[in-house]
Amino acid sequence: MLILAGFTSCATIIGGNKYRANISVIGASDAKIIYEGVPVGVGYATVSVKRRNANRFSFIVKQRDCEEKVYYFNSRRFRTAAFIGSILGWTGILPNGLLLPWGAAVDLISGSLWKPDEFERGVSKIDYRTYNYRVEYEGCPVEVEEKQPQPINISAGPAYDVVKLFDGRILKGEIFEKVPNQYLKIKTLDNNIHTLPMDNVLEISKEAAAPR
């Protein structure tokens, strides 16, 4: 007669064959999250993922008027402790005295012995059933800030842009292109053009020229 501890196993009971994936989109709280072709949230969503597919997990992030971006997670790890628990706690005994690791077989078939890889970028563990996925969305093109016309006080002469740099230099002229957090271009009073990384810029101000 075959004696079995049960038709379940350690990994299947503790954790199940699926886990919860909490998806957070950093820097785009209004971006739509799409999983398996279905919108599941805006900026944040929780979906159920089969453990065996932890290395084939992907979703789409799409912000209005911007390009969609697909995020792939291609790594998974073996649940060693759960596997050992299944062998020790869910093993059948054959009539001839041989042991049958029934629990481990159930776990292997159900896929319960897998989990997301916490060392993969953006992945962190909350508990054995829940994992966070944090992604940064960069689907929108960088917008170039257009310089708006400024009113000119005729009595005081034209106004100049004044750019102060961390190295102590001061440039005066007209800023004709500015990309936030990246760079600006200024045509100085001597008709030279300078491209300056924004990390080097200390302050930007206006200065009226001396009256004519």
CA distance 72 to 57: 6
What does the mean pLDDT of the chain come to?
78
Q: What per-residue confidence (pLDDT) applies to 140?
A: 76
Q: What is the pLDDT of residues 103-153, one digit of tens each?
A: 445 555 666 888 999 999 999 999 989 999 999 987 776 555 555 555 544
| Same domain, yes or no: 173 and 202 | yes
What is d(CA 153, CA 171) in angstroms, rounded to the nearest whole number? 21
Centroid of chain to Cα 124 = 12
Quote the pLDDT of residue 97. 46
**Same domain membership, residue 184 and residue 97:** no
pLDDT surpassing 50 at residue 1 = no
- Boundary (domain end) residue, out of 110, 136, 162: 136
**Token representation of residue 169:** 């230099």
| CA within 13 Å, CB half, 17 | 9
pLDDT digits (tens, 9 = 90+) for 81-104: 665 655 555 444 445 444 444 444
Confidence tier at 18 by pLDDT (50, 70, 90): very high
Torsion of CA 141, 147, 148, 151, to 10 degrees: 170
This prediction's pTM: 0.54
Tell me: do 80 and 125 sit in the same domain. yes
Query: So what's the pLDDT on residue 98?
Result: 44
Looking at the structure, tell me whether residues 196 and 164 fall in a common domain: yes
Residue keyed to tokens 């041989």? 98
Residues 169-195: what's their mean pLDDT? 90
Query: DSSP strand E in 63-122: where?
Result: 69-73, 76-78, 92-93, 99-100, 114-116
